Structure 1
Amino acid sequence: MTGPAEPRGHPTPAAQTNRLSSFGHIDWQQTLDDICTDILPHLGKGQVADYIPALASANPKAFGIAFSTIEGTTYTAGDWNTAFSIQSISKVFMLSVALAEEGEKLWRRVGREPSGSSFNSIVQLEREHGRPRNPFINAGALVVTDTVISHCGDEAGIDRLLAFLRESSGDQAIVVDEKIARSEAAYGDRNRALAYFMKSFGILREDVPITLETYFRQCAIEMSVANLSKAGLYLAAEGLCPISNRAVANDAHTNRVNAIMMLCGHYDRSGDFAYRVGLAGKSGVGGGIIAIIPGVGCVAVWSPPLNDAGNSYAGTLALEWFSHRTGVNLF
């Protein structure tokens, strides 16, 4: 596995904890416990994703939350240890892998602007000659996955991503849910259309079926909120993974990933999420969300029912409470 580009000027561990120490008065565990209690009347509101049948069986009353600090401490509440399909949250980690391999050349094939359209829209793609608006809509994520495959050689693209997640979370047992992967493939005709359309413009380099298979499988990766909160820590620590004590990403690239999450991480509600929560984050239709607090840590939530934009209803509310009750809002 090729490592990331050499980071620029990583802060020392002491410098990294400076912002965390400014929140030393907060009882993080009590905060999570209170949120877990207060969210109970809101569980079940929204609609569990059913366009992929394997997702429809998720428990609508499930809720988990976890917060990991850059010092390596993890606080949890609710269904924190239940594995679920991370879906589009995988796009964040695949983007980090792609930037490590491709660098700034990646942006020649995918943009960095909010789309203002549905996450699986083909109309905008046609207007813009096959170049997706950003890496978190489905078309853009397919380009990112295609890029990683180009650098993998004999290694499968999904193996590259799994290796990244296992290292950054410290859990070697992270796997793909094969049932959900098969369901993704069986109901993935819109993604096939997007991929072949981009291939006609030369935006995709690899064989479309290989890119699609990798994409379907990356969306079907299973993780708990505890593992997700650990896996996202490198984005709060300028690329340094506190779990492995190794730079897993270039610090400049982590800044870019965070910026794109702030602008594009919640589909057509990205602005609303920034307004209410004030943190860079990424949602998935499996009901998960991660949010990054630079210099402090990563918080992850999971509740399957979604609002009309495809983001977890209770998860978004819980993150709003977490941000306001702790004062970690960036603004």
Structure 2
Amino acid sequence: MKKTVTMSDIAKKLDVSTVTVSKALADKEGVSDEIRSKIKQLANELGYKYNASSKTLKDGQTYNVGIIIAERFIEVGVSFYWELYKKVADELMKLNYYVLFEILKHDDEHQVTVPKMINDNKVDGVIVLGQVSKSYYNMIKSVPVPVVFMDFYENDINQDFVIVDNFYSMYLLTDYLIEMGHRDIGFVGNKKATSSIQDRYLGYLKALIENDIDIDRCTQWYISDRSNDSANVEFELTSALPTAFVCNCDNTAYVLINKLEKLGYKVPEDVSVVGFDNYLTPVANGVRLTTAEMDMRNMAQTAIDILMKRLSKSKSKRGIKQISCKIILGDSVKRLNGKDDF
């Protein structure tokens, strides 16, 4: 019969006290982040089991974390936020936390309804995935449990946000197109929909400005792919096309590629396309998309680390934490000049 793993077993292997192990697993103060991480990792590897109900009785915590996603972000097909949710949930389970998931309905967001999980005192903290309205944000940041916001931010230094470096990553993607000889470059996305898309649009503009490209000319190929509240909308292409499009996300890039092919254009032979996220299938219609890869696992771990510090009352600076992206070069961009590679 397999021996039950105890706190003492973990303590002996790491040469620390049982009290230290207990504090680390309960996310209490008095343990360094490095030791806490080692203890939790070893506990997970050894299959250590603890009595969650007993812990709850002792410290008043539920050991549940709520995750909230606005309905509009998961309505159509494969969603970036479903993938991000899975990463967050997986990392929370490694820390022996249960996940309560709540979809933020359109009406509840509009009416600024407090989430049921908070009203019923079912969670110790909340992670919000994706942008919410200003009024809903103002409500949710004031609830009596810690809240971490992912993939969007507000002008608020007193809250915790985890985002990717949207601005610089899109700047690099657009600059890559320019290095490949493109100067007529359109943008597909609604810059008013989310802070992420707006930052990507600004990164695109920076690359145009730095390379003395006529912004007014390029704005004729600005195409909105969604409403201001991020609901997907059908979009049409102009009769005169640029040589390249920068898309705010991979999903939009693939929609664009399909539209171009229906009109008789080939990617990248006739029009080059870049996306953002790198979470979908790497090949669409035989095209490997050039894109920016978001490290979702790192995003999830960073958000959870912040939440755990808030729950343990650890002092740390609030504000925006940015996660770097990696540029992935596919075959969706055609070279128009003879310069060296990016």
- For Structure 1 versus Structure 2, the TM-score category normalised by the shorter chain is under 0.3
Highest RCO, 1 vs 2 (Cα 8 Å, sep ≥ 6) = 1
TM-score normalised over the length of structure 2 = 0.24
Greater percentage in helix: 1
TM-score normalised over the length of structure 1 = 0.25
